[in-house]
Structure 1
Amino acid sequence: MKGERLSEIQILKEIAELLNEGTDLHHMLSEVLRKLLHVTGMKTGWIFLIDDSLKFRLAAYEALPPALRENSCEVMCEGDCWCIDRYNDGRLEKATNIIECKRIEDVIAESRGETNHLTHHATVPLRAGKEKFGLLNIGSPFKTHFSTEELDLLEAVAFQVGTAIKRINLTQREQENALTAERNRLARDLHDSVNQLLFSVSLTARGGKEMVADLEVKETFDYIQDLAQDALSEMRALIWQLRPKGLENGISSALKGYGAMLGLNVSTDVMGVICLPCKVEETLWRIGQEALANCKKHSQQTNVSIQFKIVNNTLVFTIKDQGCGFHYDDQQELPSLGLRSMKDRTELLNGQFDLESAPGKGTKIQITIPV
């Protein structure tokens, strides 16, 4: 008994050291799972992360049987099961033996491949205090029961993992807040210094023009004033990018205001109501800025329509103009750095970027993002 206790303490110590070093969530979960299987002698495991809207995703797995890995772990990434249902409705509070695994039963019934004699698994919530983050599932071939000692160990590990997830989430939030604060500081500095200097140059040029009679000198002052005004416009746009005033009133209001600053008439249509995560809203803001800037530069007209539509937990964001358009072949690479940047930002959120354009028929950009 004493030796088993020391072994358990050693396992928890090794996993704690691994968790304390981790900063990348998915890498950390994979490493912890691998370490847990190695030290306990279990053969397979997987971790579901479950967000506040009760949507789950397979965040890490180790040594899944072929039937469960088929089609990029399709059977593990969709549908309901005993453990997720009970986690979502609050009945799963501690480490539990799973008598029947619906996902394994399904692949057996459909003859979808080899299960390596895996039929049962234990499940335990990942939590830190009252906060819950997902599930840890562990199993082995021919193993149909987990002892109280094994469940206690899994619960202790799950608590460590939950605490590490909370730490990483808090760190990321602090970094995002620090980045926002730095952007706001830089925006204030630009507004209070460079912006005011450019405004002074413009006023000085206008005053100088009125004080001289020579036509060439007047034209020079006109040129200086035009340069200062152009620089002021660029500076205001930069300040908007650093500190998007109005975003606190929603992305729709912010993009409409940004378009007005560019001299565009932006109409907006919002279908459905949802509170967007900060990262999604920030991405849409940056994509919208780039798209509106392109409209200003290339479309040769000022009317732009923007639509936000929620369909089955998916956000469809559309920006469309009826301008001059351009030749575009969706089999070829996107023709500009700005468009490629929009596509990259979309794909970072597991979204889809679509572009439609033709000469004389305007341009339509559609962003589809799961939310």
Structure 2
Amino acid sequence: MQQNDHSNISLLKEIAELLNEETEIQAMLQGALRKFLAGTNFETGWVFFINKKGRHELIAHENLPQALKHNNCHFLEKGGCWCVSRYRNNELKKASNIIECQRIESANAAELEGDGGITHHATVPLQSGQERFGLLNVATPNTVSFSDDELALLESVAFQMGSAIKRILLTKQEQQMALVEERNRLARDLHDSVNQLLFSVTLTSRAGIEMAEQPEMKETFKEIQNLTQEALTEMRALIWQLRPKGLESGLMEAIKGYAEMLGLNLSVNVSGVLQLPSRVEETLFRITQEALNNVRKHSGVKDAEIFVIITQTDVLLVIKDEGRGFQVDSLVKLPSIGLQSMRDRAKALGGKVDWVSNFGRGTEILIRLPY
């Protein structure tokens, strides 16, 4: 790959412009990878994100041969390899040639059509300062190793990508903080205004019951009191959703407190050590909130059970009641916006939500999230 300095600078400038325009990490990496391959003799590439536990995830890929694309990139998604292992051990510091790649060898050994002549690849860590995100791997057909100039160019692109990843993460963190502040403000406003007004109506209706002499008038005040109390419970639940209380004391304490506020009797069973990232905790809490709301509104019972099982890679949370249950036709839309929001929240973290329910047989909601 013989490229002069001018063409390399032009390519890096184009990639930098693309990276600065994008606001989503996956789209940014995909576009940068496509532009990099188009401007060099590298023909295929893929990007792994690797979390603090060493688990890798295929984030972007471009021009993969059929063998590596086989079965939704099975050989890239599963198993181990030299570059990921060296990255986990913090031994991969710069762009390097890979002598052997177990993923490519496994794909080629499967004797699938279309290996594209890919047998080796180069790798470089994606990082910004001391913060590391994953790996950028690139390859060329029938090429065993790459020159120092090629590796230097690869390292420059990786530096740009790492800086862009950091920028997007910081922007999203700032947006999340702004969202939390706005939720807190709304929660305070609702508590100080609408919540207090409803409480005042409850007290007024209670006094009306005591003062009224006619039975019809007493019943009217009782109805007002019941409706206001229901609205007050709904308002408190909304405030909890805006500003979760108790999460600072742990996920289970927050869930117990929310169930108590709803007037539910909740039995909790935990297997494993509950030490989860804050984003996973909040997602589990939000999904559980919605599930407990459904128990209170639709199940016809006041008792519920929660089972939490922690493994090395996932957390499984099951919410169960013995209420009236429901039935969903798989061919129609979900009957509840709440059920769909549970699925959306779990999907955002790479997890899933399922449920088992039938009329008169209660409901089980199963949540599984990686962490």
Q: TM class, shorter-chain normalised?
A: over 0.9
1:125 is matched with 125
Alignment partner of 1:65 is 2:49: no
Partner in structure 1 of residue 32 of structure 2: 32
Q: Per the alignment, do residues 316 and 103 of structure 1 end up closer, same or farther by CA in structure 2, a change over 3 Å counting?
A: same
Indicate the residue corresponding to 1:345 in structure 2: 345
The aligned counterpart of 2:201 is: 201
| Greater CA drift, 198-207 or 89-98 | 198-207
Letter in 2 for 1:301: V
Give the drift of 1:86: 0.6
Moved more, 55-64 or 310-319: 310-319
Equivalent position of 2:316 in the other structure:
316
Superposed, which structure 2 residues align to 1:1-371 within 5 Å?
4-211=4-211, 213-327=213-327, 334-371=334-371
Q: Which runs of 5+ in 2 are unaligned?
A: none
TM-score normalised according to structure 1 size: 0.93
Query: Any idea what SS the aligned residue of 2:39 has?
Result: helix
- Gapped runs of 5+ residues in structure 1? none
Residues 91-139 of structure 1 show CA distances to partners (whole Å, capped at 9, x for unaligned) of: 1101111122221222222212321111221111111111111111111
Please state whether the residue corresponding to 1:40 is helix, strand or coil.
coil
- Displacement of 1:302 after TM fit? 1.7
Cα-to-partner distance string for 1:291-326 (whole Å, 9 max, x where unaligned): 112212232322211011123412111001122334
Q: What amino acid is aligned across from residue 287 of structure 2 in structure 1?
A: I
Residues 67 and 307 from structure 1, CA distance in 2 versus in 1: closer, same or farther, beyond 3 angstroms? same
CA shift for structure 1 position 345 = 2.9
Distance apart, 1:212 and its partner CA: 5.2
CA distance in 1, matches of 2:315, 2:248: 19
The residue type paired with residue 343 of structure 1 is R
Amino acid in the other structure paired with 1:114: G
The 3-state SS of whatever aligns with 1:167 is helix
Bigger drift between 74-83 and 272-281 goes to 272-281
8 Å contact from structure 1 (residues 328, 356) kept in 2: no
What's the offset of the Cα at 1:26? Answer: 0.5
Q: Please, what is the CA RMSD of the aligned residues?
A: 2.1
Letter in 1 for 2:43: K
Shift of 1:166: 0.8
Higher deviation after alignment, 49-58 or 104-113: 104-113
- Aligned to 2:144, the other structure's residue is in SS state coil
CA distance in 1, matches of 2:300, 2:206: 30
SS in 2 for 1:304: strand
- Work out the CA distance in 2 between the residues paired with 1:219 and 1:360: 33
Q: In structure 2, the residue corresponding to 1:188 is in which secondary structure?
A: helix
Structure 1 residues 153-178: Cα deviation after superposition (integer angstroms, max 9, x where no partner): 11111111001111111111111111
